[in-house]
Amino acid sequence: MKRLGLGGLFFVWLYGVPFLLVVGLIRRTSKPYAPTREAAQAFGAGTDAVLIAALLLNALPIVGLWLAGDADWSRHFRWAVGGMVMVYLMVVLVGRMATGVLIGHTPADDEPAPAVTQCIPRSGGRGCPGG
């Protein structure tokens, strides 16, 4: 049962972390349909949750190395710690190349600009448009 658990832990890290990172980065760079500011904030919060989960799950090789008792799984998890460091370096590189922050970004909403319903005259000879 322990070997099955270690295998599950290893494959969750091997396939789950890159999947979550790719999904999070695609969501981060996409233009969502967010008709209101609240919808845009919800989309940004969902993207942040996916990226944070990927970065937290990236530490699974350390847990696996701590739990592994036999030499085979210890070897797999030692190599995975190197891969874990490479994933963190890749995220830092992508973050430096991006034009904005990876986590904490709220996309623009599609709300129309409010219509001007009242004219307030200003001094200096410029009156209200239209009379």
Domain membership flag for residue 34 = yes
Q: Which residues span the domain enclosing 84?
A: 2-97
Domain membership flag for residue 16 = yes
The pLDDT score that the predictor gives to residue 130 is 58
Domain membership flag for residue 70 = yes
* Range of 11-25, 70-84, 91-105 with top mean pLDDT: 11-25
- Which candidate, 40, 45, 50, places its Cα nearest to that of 104? 45
Domain membership flag for residue 120 = no
Domain membership flag for residue 86 = yes
The total number of structural domains that make up the chain: 1
Domain membership flag for residue 113 = no
- Which candidate, 102, 58, 66, 52, places its Cα nearest to that of 82? 58
Main-chain phi, psi angles of 86, to 5 degrees: -65, -40
Domain membership flag for residue 112 = no
Domain membership flag for residue 103 = no
Residue 75: pLDDT over 80: yes
Q: What is the pLDDT of residues 33-69, one digit of tens each?
A: 878 888 888 999 999 999 999 999 998 888 888 888 7
- Which candidate, 70, 65, 69, places its Cα nearest to that of 82? 65
